[in-house]
Amino acid sequence: MRTLDRKPGKFTQTTFDPMMTQEKFDELKNKLERLKKISQPKAASEVSRLAELGDFSENTEYQMAKWKLRGINNSILTIDNQLQQAIIIPSNQQSDTVRIGHRVTLQDGDKKKTYQILGSSETSPQKGIISHNSPIGSAILGHRVGDVVEIKLANKDVKYKIMKIE
């Protein structure tokens, strides 16, 4: 079978961040089980049903079913790899220095912001969840309450004071 030669996209070289919470690990495990027990057998039976119609070159439904099955198999391999490499973020850690998994309150002038520092796969800036690889996350790791951290953002330098670590 010939594979397509495609130019690498913007996100093809991103590295997998193995840091995740137990909840994210369980979510991926459940998704893998659903894919293996429900989606994959269903897609495989559809491919075999359409294969019986013959003439593979002009059977569009067959081509689409095979494409869907390949996508499911790729998802299974990806999730399985993520689960094997996963590093679970401990939930009860000491809180005198900022570590991955902590919720940190920062003060910038009159504004206070609270962030939880997790792995890249769980980030949600709208909910205040940032990656330990983000500019803010990486800058405050290892600091203590009362420390002032200067972060160089795209268009300005910002000084944050660490107010609380949970």
Counting beta carbons within 10 angstroms of the beta carbon of residue 94, is it exposed (0 to 12), middle (13 to 18) or buried (19 or more)?
exposed
CA pair distance 24, 61, nearest whole angstrom: 35
- All structural domains of the chain, each given as residue ranges with its CATH number in brackets, are 19-88 (1.10.287.180), 103-165 (3.10.50.30)
- DSSP β-bridge partners for residue 103: 116
Give this prediction's pTM. 0.77
Helix (H, G, I), strand (E, B) or coil at 109: coil
Please tell me the predicted confidence (pLDDT) of residue 125.
87
Kindly state the percentage of the chain with pLDDT values over 90. 52
Residue 8 has pLDDT above 80, yes or no: no
**Mean pLDDT comparison of 35-44, 112-121, 127-136, highest-scoring range:** 35-44
**Mean pLDDT comparison of 27-31, 109-113, 120-124, 141-145, highest-scoring range:** 27-31
- Span between the terminal Cα atoms of the chain, in Å: 54
Question: What is residue 58's DSSP assignment?
Answer: G
Please tell me the predicted confidence (pLDDT) of residue 92.
67
pLDDT class for 148, splitting at 50, 70, 90?
very high
Residue 14 has pLDDT above 70, yes or no: no
Query: Quick check: 80 and 94 in contact, CB under 8 A?
Result: no
